[in-house]
Chain A
Amino acid sequence: MSRSQLLDQKVFQAMRAVGAAAKKGLGDPVLAELVMIRASQLNHCAFCLDMHLRDARENGESEDRVQLLNAWEEAEGRYTERERAALALTEAVTVLTDGFVPDEVYDRAAQLFEEAELAHLVSLITVINGWNRLMVSRRVPPGGRQA
């Protein structure tokens, strides 16, 4: 068995279920792809970046917004306030080993998202972090959709 195949099908299916529930509850596919791309950048997941860049483009996301995502804080006018709050939260929740999720980051998101939306946004950030780990640790090459 190659390294990339080390994933139990029940785990794979359960991961997909978590992701599907998170995306459905958030109800904003455009934002979802931005969040998943940003987390995958921070976690250096080639497979996930490849997949979500393609998904974003298929959703009609602009090349401009995708290209500038790595510097979203300086790219004023390209992202909405909700998107910016979600991206800040994505970064905080992704880089847990360097600290906590700061109050100002959490509070900014909590002001712009209803509690149920926020719970699903946190879920989505968490599940893409999960996929990032499953793909990076097994070194799954970019370009495919199947785990």
Chain B
Amino acid sequence: MTTKNDTPDTTATTATTAQSGTATAATTATTAPNGAAAAATAGYAPEQAPRLEWAKHAPEVYKAMIRLDTAAKRGLDARLYELVKIRASQLNHCAFCLDMHTKDALAAGESVERIVQLSAWEESRHFYTEKELAAIELTEAITVLTDGFVPDEVYDRAAGLFEEPELAQLIAAITVINAWNRFGVTTRMTPGHYQPGRHA
């Protein structure tokens, strides 16, 4: 086995298959992360269908959510907003949302490094501006409500760096990505098929 110890099992299986011979398997290994259908042939777990097509069954809610999304992001820095969306989606474990927002962030010129470091931002503060750090911290506090309140120090740090209208929009935007995360996770929306820019 030539794979590293920390390689996940699925990747190890794929690597073994590829080494055993076929060009198809090798090609699949390269393209797998972008297409779950192809991944199935490479030893990955099968792609799951969503539990419920909620937007089809609740079209008025979906339309209102789109309007809410538009209202919440007005006046907010687009680059900051993508970081907020990715961090909330990490905390809420929304695969569909992570697929969408990491692709949108990359397409908008965000660096791979800043996206990868985001889940450990407290130890990689020098990758981010003070405003971004305050926004990420506020995102975490507002996302993990069930474990406590939004601490004064977290709120005050954001309030010290953002003008009031922008702070209001930041709070709204954190709320809205939390809502999309809930739809995505609950109805198990399938990640992997998002084309960057479609909803950015």
Chain A interfacial positions (CB closer than 8 Å to B): 1, 3, 6-8, 10-11, 13-15, 17-18, 20-22, 24-25, 42-45, 89, 92-101, 106, 110, 115-116, 118-120, 122-123, 125-127, 129-130, 132-134, 136-139
Count the A-B residue pairs with Cβ separation under 8 angstroms: how many?
159
Count of B residues near A, CB < 8 Å? 53
Assess whether A7 is in contact with B172, with CB atoms less than 8 Å apart: yes
0/1 per residue, B16-54, Cβ < 8 Å to A?
000000000000000000000000000000000001101
Q: Closest residue of chain B to A42, judged by CB?
A: B146
| Cβ A14 vs Cβ B186 within 8 A | no
Distance in angstroms from B64 CB to nearest chain A CB is 4
- Residue interface bits B166-186, CB-to-A below 8 A is 1, else 0: 011101101110110111011
Whether the pair B61, A8 counts as a contact (CB closer than 8 A) is no
* Distance A124 CA – B20 CA, assembled complex (angstroms): 52
Question: Does A10 lie within 8 Å of B74, measured CB to CB?
Answer: yes
Note all chain A residues with C-beta closer than 8 A to B171: 6-7, 133-134, 137-138
- Proximity string of chain B (156-198) to chain A, C-beta cutoff 8 Å, 1 when within and 0 when not: 0001000011011101101110110111011110000000000
B93 interface contact, C-beta 8 A: yes
Other-chain residue from A1, A18, A22, A136 in contact with B149 (beta carbon distance below 8 A): A136
